Structure 1
Amino acid sequence: MYRSMMLINGEQVEGASGRSEIIHNPANQEPVAEVVIGDVSDAVRALEAARHAFPEWSSSSPKIRCNLLHDAAEIVRQRADHIAELLTMEMGKPIRDSRREVLSAADSLDYFAEEGLRNTGDWIATGDTRSIVTKQPIGVVSLITPWNYPVELLAWKAGPALAAGCTAVAKPSSLAPVAATEFIMAINDAGLPPGVLNIVHGSGDTVGAELVTNPISRKISFTGETSTGRWIMEAAARHLKRVSLELGGHAPMIVFDDADIDAAAGACVRRAFGNMGQVCISVNRVYVDDAIADDFTEKVIRRTLDLRIGNPLDPEVDLGPMVSGAQRRKTVEHIEDALRKGARLLCGGREPEGDLFAKGYYFMPTVLSDVDHTMRMMREETFGPVAPIMRFSGEEEAVRLANDTEYGLAAYIYTDSMRRAIRISERIEAGSIGVNVGSVIDHHAPFGGWKQSGIGRELSHRGLEEYMEIKHIRLGL
């Protein structure tokens, strides 16, 4: 069984309490790893190490930081198979998707390595004065990440933080800390000075809370539930800390009558059921023009039934288990609520049968029709493999339904009309809109939410600037 330790000041360490926990494979309940568990004192040690390392790291040249991040990316690629296997075993993601996640994380490091070189300021000439606008690293940052993309989402934070010249303490989710820790170890093995990038394990109530409230940290970058994000924002306000919060989502997909129905149905299945629907930008609500609803629904059902469910270490498998029994129960509760209120079950809606699935948190991908906004799944984030389909008539109704939510992270539109695509995109209340594409993620473009889906941006040069302070120096000649 693998043993996962913490990293503080460049050394792998035990926790002060001597505690550890066993991570079990959600596919079969077999033990995967023993994880060292930290407490408040470990979080403080990590923050102190980051503070001690900050002066040297922040004053190093961007080129040095760039080269180290490129070297780190290569080490991550060399270890991709190992990290991906750990990721699959601890949270159930199919192995090919886990490997893709790890390689994408390496790409993030490469991207921000170069973006750090372009992080220049301004020289402004006005009469007999000159204004210099510079960007400087904000200080020690706390990086708190979720279990569903434990490596890639950590790269979105660690990459820009290090490129900007910040030092950091990372805390992965207690549900899936192992692959994230291996990723941090790989970055450190590129030659980072001790204390620049640390990782601690533990609960959000203790270790996470210390990283948020301790005055050493000057910025909190958090991805997770909206309720936790609200608490972090309140706690960070006591020290006027900078926050980046990527929170819950409830993405609509709108399919108009002029859309490529085959492409739309395929994207719907991939985005609703990928990673068992445990994605913040999963399709949670499907709105289809009444004129094509029957044809679209039939294609979605057919593609859903073709998905292969099984051992996530099998490279031919499309869907593994859900991460936990609690997550599966929530999905079942949402489906039962919808059925009580008049929804029709078209496929799925149950656990698969057979010995292979007996010990795991498996669930069949589910398609529902005749849904409406009185149902929980149309108001709350299910975070499970469910595609509820609702009909609409006309653009106005489509926009109204899509915006009828407190969330605003992502949305998807399928149409053959560029005019309609632009018109609808500009009216949808979300931070990212995918038009005729099944993903809104691009390293070169900002990612983040509107409304209750968060504040701040990740990726692109804007993601780097989240870790910088701006300074104006005015010179008299």
Structure 2
Amino acid sequence: MPKPIFVAGRWREGRGETIASHFPADGSLNAEVAGASAEDVAEAVEAGRRAMADPAWRDLRPHERARHLHAISDGLSRRADEIARVQTRDTGKTLAETRALVASAAGTFRFFAAALETLEEELTPPRGDVLTMSIHEPIGVVGAITPWNSPIASDAQKVAPALAAGNAVVLKPAAWSPLVCLKLAEVVEEAGLPPGLFSALPGSGAVVGDALVRHPDVAKVSFTGGTSTGRSIARIAADKLMPVSLELGGKSPNIVFSDADLDEALAGALYGIFSSSGQSCIAGSRLFVQRPVYDAFLGRLVEATRRLRVGHPEHDGTQVAPLIHPRHRDAVDRYVRLAVEEGGEVLCGGRPPEGPAYEGGSYYLPTVIAGLGNGARVCQEEIFGPVVVVLPFDDEDGLVAEANDSVYGLAAGIWSSDYRRIWRVARRLRTGTVWINTYKQFSISTPFGGVKESGLGREKGRHGIRAYMNQKSLYWNLGDRPLPWAGL
């Protein structure tokens, strides 16, 4: 029997197409899910609207709402190993990574619970005999659409602040990874959140996602995923005059200056592109290395890449696990073939691994490509796999020009021992995040998002709650006479 979904506080079969989750390591079937339909979206949104208006939720003080977030955090921590194993089966990520992602999700709910309890309203400076203040109210039912590459963490980054703000949330996960959000729904239910405030609706983007974005009672959509889908959501949102948060693609430059600690830079370059099997929007897929150290650094990079352990995601020591799906692996391979057509040289990897251990899986070897300019398609288009293109550069101005020569602007890394140079370059890079002598480090307390075609808006941070609220101004008359205009 297909697994049920969580609609408006009830577990039942969805009315849409059945979704299959397969284990990327060998292609075996994990489970089938009775996916959601547009009708299920309508039911979830209506239930969310009613639940928000119920005094049992509407009238809770911030510290009382925060208790629900703490309870969800505790539930995630209590069931961490179980949820991590489900996510490994669902996505192919290593257990080490999925355990870290569940811990991150629990921490996200804790952080926003604490932020909610201490978030203050504002008395604004008076301009007459009127007391003025600014307050914030829930924005309405929120549509949260999350990707397959790190579902539980992405889910928490949207659900936690939206609930903290007093909203209802309808979560739509990627069709390739439907199981993790259902575990989150179990935790939410166990935590005692009032029914209707949270729904988890696995299903196709064309049906469930579209219905969610277009629904007239959805007041905001927060989306993480591909840029083309983000554009479509933005067009619909423009017609609705609905705010959106869009965290989209990336083609991040990772920059190694000749004065860097090259051991640290090498470790950072490897982690920046090959962790998560390269399936990361902030992956350091364009590796710029200053000319004096380019040849030596490239040689060390190739040697270290060949030593990376490609293997089963449930085995200890695996560094590079399978990609999410055979279709995605094939798309990555097509980009490598394109790089060769463009004149690039594949220095290592460039194909699926061979042998019985990899049969049936969506594995791809970590790949290093050289010999291309920044204008090549593989330097401009997001590959979303374990493929890095290494590019030499000579001076700071040329480097900044090439690093910024991209439609994307999500993240970047700088490796140098010159703090003045780091400051100059970091300020000139058109990205939402810059890592300095490190890479792919995150804090829920620090806002995250992109510029250009990498998206709109920010998530995380203390004021991430405000992104799910409307601001209202109140004017209190302190005068003792009627308004003079009426002549009374």
Aligned to 1:41: 39
Aligned to 1:117: 117
Task: Give the TM-score normalised by structure 1.
Answer: 0.97
| Alpha-carbon distance in structure 2 between the residues aligned to 1:245 and 1:168 | 16
Contact 2:91 2:148 survives alignment (8 Å): yes
Aligned to 1:89: 89
Q: For 1:52-451, what aligned pairs fall within 5 Å after superposition?
A: 52-56=50-54, 57-126=57-126, 127-451=128-452
Task: Report the CA distance between 1:228 and its aligned residue.
Answer: 0.6
| Alpha-carbon distance in structure 2 between the residues aligned to 1:446 and 1:52 | 31
Contact 2:181 2:200 survives alignment (8 Å): no
| Higher CA-based Rg | 2
| Alpha-carbon distance in structure 2 between the residues aligned to 1:395 and 1:125 | 46
Q: Deviations for 1:158-214, whole angstroms, at most 9, x for unmatched residues? A: 010011111110000000010122123212311100001111121111111111001
Contact 1:77 1:103 survives alignment (8 Å): yes
Contact 1:73 1:110 survives alignment (8 Å): yes
Aligned to 1:7: 6
Residue 26, structure 1, aligned to residue 28, structure 2? no
| Alpha-carbon distance in structure 2 between the residues aligned to 1:125 and 1:393 | 53
SS of 2:132 mapped into structure 1: strand
Contact 2:48 2:197 survives alignment (8 Å): yes
Contact 1:288 1:392 survives alignment (8 Å): yes
Contact 2:51 2:196 survives alignment (8 Å): yes
Amino acid of the structure 1 residue aligned with 2:19: E
Task: Report the CA distance between 1:16 and its aligned residue.
Answer: 2.6
SS of 2:240 mapped into structure 1: coil
| Alpha-carbon distance in structure 2 between the residues aligned to 1:28 and 1:236 | 40
Amino acid of the structure 2 residue aligned with 1:107: G
| Alpha-carbon distance in structure 2 between the residues aligned to 1:187 and 1:377 | 42
| Alpha-carbon distance in structure 2 between the residues aligned to 1:390 and 1:20 | 45
Contact 1:150 1:177 survives alignment (8 Å): no
- C-alpha RMSD of the superposition: 1.3
Task: Single out whichever of 306-315 and 38-47 deviates more from structure 2.
Answer: 306-315
Task: Report the CA distance between 1:125 and its aligned residue.
Answer: 4.1
Contact 1:262 1:299 survives alignment (8 Å): no
Amino acid of the structure 2 residue aligned with 1:411: A
Aligned to 2:485: none
Contact 1:342 1:371 survives alignment (8 Å): yes
SS of 1:151 mapped into structure 2: helix
Task: Report the CA distance between 1:119 and its aligned residue.
Answer: 2.3
Task: Single out whichever of 453-462 and 365-374 deviates more from structure 2.
Answer: 365-374
| Alpha-carbon distance in structure 1 between the residues aligned to 2:95 and 2:288 | 31
SS of 1:363 mapped into structure 2: coil
Q: Deviations for 1:348-382, whole angstroms, at most 9, x for unmatched residues? A: 11111101112101110011111212322101000
5+ unaligned residues in a row in structure 1: which ranges? none
Task: Single out whichever of 123-132 and 430-439 deviates more from structure 2.
Answer: 123-132
Contact 2:323 2:362 survives alignment (8 Å): yes
Contact 2:19 2:203 survives alignment (8 Å): no
Contact 2:37 2:203 survives alignment (8 Å): yes
Task: Report the CA distance between 1:440 and its aligned residue.
Answer: 4.5
SS of 1:373 mapped into structure 2: coil
Q: Deviations for 1:81-112, whole angstroms, at most 9, x for unmatched residues? A: 11111111111101111111111111001011
| Alpha-carbon distance in structure 1 between the residues aligned to 2:437 and 2:189 | 39
| Alpha-carbon distance in structure 1 between the residues aligned to 2:401 and 2:129 | 55
Structure 1 stretches of 4+ with a deviation exceeding 4 A read none
Amino acid of the structure 2 residue aligned with 1:76: L
Identical counterparts, % of pairs: 37
| Alpha-carbon distance in structure 2 between the residues aligned to 1:122 and 1:462 | 14
Contact 1:73 1:187 survives alignment (8 Å): no
Contact 1:184 1:199 survives alignment (8 Å): yes
5+ unaligned residues in a row in structure 2: which ranges? 479-488
Contact 2:113 2:164 survives alignment (8 Å): yes
Aligned to 2:470: 469
Task: Single out whichever of 138-147 and 459-468 deviates more from structure 2.
Answer: 459-468
Count, aligned residues: 475
Contact 2:172 2:201 survives alignment (8 Å): yes
Amino acid of the structure 1 residue aligned with 2:419: M
Task: Give the TM-score normalised by structure 2.
Answer: 0.95
